[in-house]
Structure 1
Amino acid sequence: MSFLYTAVAFLLALGPLIIFHELGHYWVARACGVKVLRFSVGMGKVVWSRRFGKDGTEWAISALPLGGYVQFLDSRDPETAPKDEAERARDFVRQSVWKRIAIVAAGPTANFLLAIALFGALFMHGVEEPGTKLRPMAADTPAYAAGLRGGDSVTAVNGEPVTGWSDLRWQIMSLAVDKQDARLDVRAANGSQYAATIPAAAIKEPGPEGDLMGELGLDVWIGMPVVENAVAGGAGARAGLQKGDVVLGADGKPFAHAADFVQTVRAAPGRTLQIQVRRGSQVVSLPLTPEKDPKGQGLASVQLSPALERVTVQSGPVEAIVKGARRTWEMTTLTFKMIGKIVTGQASLKNITGPIAIADYAGQTARMGLATFLGFIAVVSVSLGVMNLLPIPVLDGGHLLYYSLEVLTGRPLSERIQGFAQRAGVALLFMLMALAIFNDLSQRL
């Protein structure tokens, strides 16, 4: 059932993005007067099709559910060559180079516009997420060395205001790629303001499974633990803990953080603790005697649901679209920078991921709620736009490279050179896909 859920989430995430990408090509081609012969979702053999419109455009679903394409009237293809002068005027090849550039660029542009719209809608609706309040960090972490302490809240990074955890994480990740210091404006737990700087040398680029924030000592503040379930027969159940109890302290000493409860229990195997819990409007004291686990540590045998401190990030319509456009631009530039680092050997090839990773993240975000899932779709839309702009033959970026050379030289590349480039591009894409799938599998086995 979990596999089916993930598969459906993957199709719901990637399918509309492919359709929207191809619609970009389709709409601009029609606007430029080019005849569209086929609009296909999927590649390879057509398994279903219907014709619509005065041009009899074939709308099709093809066998391989990876990608799609729009087929134009093209005099280079004997099977679809124009039959008369009226059709010749609608031949893709006969269009000006600028029209061809516009048609090819329309696909990635559609993905970027969709990402802006999705991000903008999320900012307008309001996204509930953890705030920027920090949990206590270890003394050997860069965050502690910079002067940050548990209970403090970050308000800006290098002058850019941050209102939620995703903003903070995004800014730190951008600085990791750019190898810049992180200058943080911070509001202390007592209300005072101060600045802290984490040096660039301490901000390492994470791998695909890396935890950049955790390595720096930055983690989300967690409130007092709430009892989700006390395992029958366990120490917590014997003590009388019930679902919904909020653990406040032990032996008269209040906890400053949820981790204090876990540490206190682990340090007291076999010793009775008087724990204070809030139950409804009352505070009660319960005797908890932790059992000893195989490692010799105390065990309460309760499932906890930490209370995250959350904020709602919401903007007006105009501000939301501006923020959506900025987020899309920042993600696009960051992705190109990361690709550049991979090409030059400054970043690991393990950062290249494929459909298995996308499907996994699609399933995870779908379970977190509609807003999180739509945010994930926006991220994938940006990635799809960037990928198609890479100057690899067979991709949109490869065709844009051909037409750019045509603008510079005044004549198109020869069909022989284009044919060779196409074959090389297909081989390169297959190698990249194989590497991506290998990375996906190796990270999950």
Structure 2
Amino acid sequence: MLTLLAFLVTLGILIAVHEYGHFQVARWCNVKVLRFSLGFGKPIFRRHFGVDNTEFVISALPLGGYVKMLDERELAAPSNVAEADLARAFNRQSVWKRIAIVSAGPAANLLLAIFLYWILFMQGVPGMKPIIGDVPVQTPAAQAGLQENDLITAVAGQPVSSWTDVRWILLQEAIKSPLVVVKVRDEALHEHDAELRLDSIEKEDFESDFLGKLGLSPYRPPMPARLGEIVPDGVADKAGLQTGDEVLAVNDKPITEWEQFVTLVRERPEQPLTLRLKRDEQELDAVVIPQAIDENGIKIGRIGAAFQVDEALMEKLSITVSYGPLQSFTRAVDKTWETSVFSIKMLARMVTGEASWKGVSGPVTIASYAGQSAHIGWKSFIGFLALISISLGVLNLLPVPVLDGGHLLYYTIEILKGSPVSEATMEVGQRIGLAILALLMAVAFYNDITRFITG
């Protein structure tokens, strides 16, 4: 239910903002708006408002929306248009007004992203400090001389404060350069530069853990197998386990870290496990039989117990970065611009075959991420909303007929040749645009289904 609600809220906000951009600029240009629709298909709600008696509609299929303006080209009998309304028809506006109206939708999405990032940067963005964990041998990170416990302070000359910053900058650098300079500070507080090679990253890696392929991972301190939250009526609860219990051994095998315990439980579904526990300086035994759970077609064991987080340690490893109103606004603009440019570059690389089309997502994936981000917290959801808003704005600016960018292409040609594009040319363009859009949607749904099946 949370996923469904988050998905509907996401679509509702993004579509409403996009269409409102068209609607408001059309009104500023004195163009008569006949209908403002959120969604397609059968209307489930409709009301008329305003001087122009504009019809506001919510339709059954929420995957889009539209603003219908008075346009003589779309009327069966243009002569029926009232004389007073002729000057307010969209087709009678100057090319510059038409450009402004069409551009307003994508622009509204980009402005929304700036506003959301502005809020985030003022409130503070949580993250993990970029302290390097175990560096596997023969990886680019090892070859660059990076070591465990090194703190990354800058990438490509840009200061970083969290792993999110590191990943974002490396992602941008990977599509334009085979080498990047990483500045680190070791445990002795000595700083040095390391040349990290990025040419091992392949096009399929961009949608997965490409940091791991480089040999970079967040530092993970030793974590004793101490139990945190116990699921009520779960296996651990019924076996008498309690929050704060530390697992010392499983079937007489010593346990020193949480991951060891998790691995043993996962590998032994429906098999009795004898746990040696430490509780309040006393040792005791308990027997649990992990419940069998299907995970991506594989049977694993679970007992319904979580890890107890060391709050003091997490405070040392985590960071919350916030800025003043003016600096937050500047960073919000920069973030929106960088993300937009990066999106365009990745689309170009997909077209040329340099990037995988697996990165294209459809409504199922968007719904999944909407639910996950909402579950994490409102800041995560706002960040997700800003990212999708940028994607929607950039997508609509592509020079593909039926999209806003396709209309802008027609208007650009009209400015250059001094007359509008012919109806025949626009009709052919519409068919091509619909074919491209259908292909893109097919790829998106295919990727969605693949992710759903494979997990």
Which bin holds the TM-score, normalised by the shorter protein? 0.7 to 0.9
Task: Give 1:9-408 correspondences, 5 Å limit.
Answer: 9-79=6-76, 81=78, 83-207=81-205, 209-223=207-221, 224-225=223-224, 226-228=226-228, 243-244=243-244, 303-305=306-308, 307=310, 308=314, 309-408=317-416
The 2-side partners of 1:241 and 1:45 are apart by 55
Q: CA deviation at 1:333?
A: 0.6
The percentage of aligned residue pairs carrying the same residue is: 45
Counterpart position of 1:296 = none
Letter in 1 for 2:419: R
CA 262–155 in structure 1, closer or farther in 2 if over 3 Å, else same: farther
Greater mean deviation of Cα atoms: 91-100 or 72-81: 72-81
The 2-side partners of 1:242 and 1:265 are apart by 17
Q: Secondary structure at the match of 2:88?
A: coil
Q: CA deviation at 1:243?
A: 2.5
What runs of 5+ residues in structure 1 fail to find an aligned partner? 249-254, 267-271, 294-298
The 2-side partners of 1:80 and 1:370 are apart by 51
Greater mean deviation of Cα atoms: 136-145 or 28-37: 136-145
Letter in 2 for 1:56: N
Tell me, yes or no, if the aligned pair for 2:201 and 2:210 is still in contact at 8 Å.
yes
Letter in 2 for 1:194: H
The 1-side partners of 2:49 and 2:43 are apart by 16
Letter in 2 for 1:359: A
Q: Secondary structure at the match of 2:40?
A: strand
The 2-side partners of 1:380 and 1:100 are apart by 26
Tell me, yes or no, if the aligned pair for 2:204 and 2:355 is still in contact at 8 Å.
no
Letter in 1 for 2:318: R
Give the paired residue count: 421
Q: CA deviation at 1:443?
A: 2.0
Letter in 1 for 2:172: S
The 2-side partners of 1:439 and 1:217 are apart by 27
Q: CA deviation at 1:286?
A: 6.1
What runs of 5+ residues in structure 2 fail to find an aligned partner? 249-255, 267-273, 291-300
The 2-side partners of 1:290 and 1:208 are apart by 44
Tell me, yes or no, if the aligned pair for 1:258 and 1:306 is still in contact at 8 Å.
no
Counterpart position of 1:269 = none
Greater mean deviation of Cα atoms: 403-412 or 414-423: 414-423
Letter in 2 for 1:29: A
Greater mean deviation of Cα atoms: 422-431 or 216-225: 216-225
The 1-side partners of 2:61 and 2:154 are apart by 46
Q: CA deviation at 1:152?
A: 1.5
Q: CA deviation at 1:15?
A: 1.3
Counterpart position of 2:270 = none
CA 247–140 in structure 1, closer or farther in 2 if over 3 Å, else same: farther
TM-score in terms of structure 1 length: 0.84
The 2-side partners of 1:263 and 1:194 are apart by 37
Q: CA deviation at 1:242?
A: 5.4
Tell me, yes or no, if the aligned pair for 1:111 and 1:384 is still in contact at 8 Å.
yes
CA 378–259 in structure 1, closer or farther in 2 if over 3 Å, else same: same
Letter in 2 for 1:84: A
The 2-side partners of 1:213 and 1:67 are apart by 35
CA 287–62 in structure 1, closer or farther in 2 if over 3 Å, else same: closer
CA 170–247 in structure 1, closer or farther in 2 if over 3 Å, else same: farther
Q: CA deviation at 1:388?
A: 0.4
CA 208–12 in structure 1, closer or farther in 2 if over 3 Å, else same: farther
